[in-house]
Amino acid sequence: MTTGVERIETTKLVAGELCLDFANTASRRTVNSDELLCSYEDLVFWFHYAGMLSEKETERLQHVAARQSTKSAQEFQRALVLREAVYKTYSALASERPPSKAALKTINAAATEMLGHLQISPSKDRFEWTWYNVKDALEFPLWTVARSATRLLVSEESRRRVRECQGRGCHWLFVDQTCNRNRRWCDMATCGNREKVRQFRARKNRGA
């Protein structure tokens, strides 16, 4: 029996965009499927694993969550709803279907909240969006996913490169950053290999 932390630490981040890696934490696969996130604590740990929270920030948020168990349970559920909306939206776009209005509405609702916590700050030689008033905010993971999901939606070039893995029953999403746009698998070591083995067996059965 593996713990949530072990499950998270042994799962690769292959999507090239935070919101898609987050969508890939759900148990949608028909092979080797594990729900990675079973609690708000798992959610915070995953954001740390994905590089969005420092160790210190992670500990702090875990501490706040332990003190506000009802609110953290609500935020966990809201994050799962957003995760599903992100999956539905990008899965549709990957197969050139229009995304569902309900899924876009969920992303927009999270984005509206998120925008209330962003400001323009000057940095060395430019201006950039930075977070403000997010210290101790249990909503921070949700806003971070909303920021990634909306940024990807309006980035025509990256959005057109979103793919759903062609591995049987996989459903993982990723941004195809190859020059010739021919990435088919979430990960060559898992889905790519399984497909190669399947094709080899099929050839063998046909006596080729």
* Residue among 105 and 196 whose Cβ is closer to Zn ion: 196
The strand pair at 173-175 and 118-122 is best described as unpaired
The contact pattern for Zn ion, residues 176-195, with x = CB under 5 A and - = no contact, is ----------x----x----
Q: SS3 string of 105-157?
A: HHHHHHHHHHHCCEEEEECCCCEEEEECCCCCCCCHHHHHHHHHHHHHHHCHH
Contacts (Cβ under 8 Å, ≥6 apart) of 126: none
Does residue 173 interact with Zn ion by CB under 5 A? no
Of the candidates 14, 110, 145, 170, which one interacts with Zn ion according to CB under 5 A? 170
Does residue 94 interact with Zn ion by CB under 5 A? no
Neighbours of 165 (CB within 10 A): 25
Q: Closest separation between CB of residue 170 and Zn ion, Å? A: 3
Of the candidates 165, 174, 183, 195, which one interacts with Zn ion according to CB under 5 A? 165
Of the candidates 167, 173, 174, 175, which one interacts with Zn ion according to CB under 5 A? 167
Structure tokens at 119: 């400001």
> In terms of Cα–Cα distance, which of 34, 33, 36, 31 is closest to 167?
31
Only one of the segments 88-96, 119-127, 165-173, 200-208 lies at the binding site for Zn ion (rule: CB under 5 A); that segment is 165-173
Q: Closest separation between CB of residue 148 and Zn ion, Å? A: 20
Does residue 23 interact with Zn ion by CB under 5 A? no
CA 1 to the chain's CA centroid: 24
- Judged by the rule CB under 5 A, the positions of this chain that interact with Zn ion are 165, 167, 170, 172, 186, 191
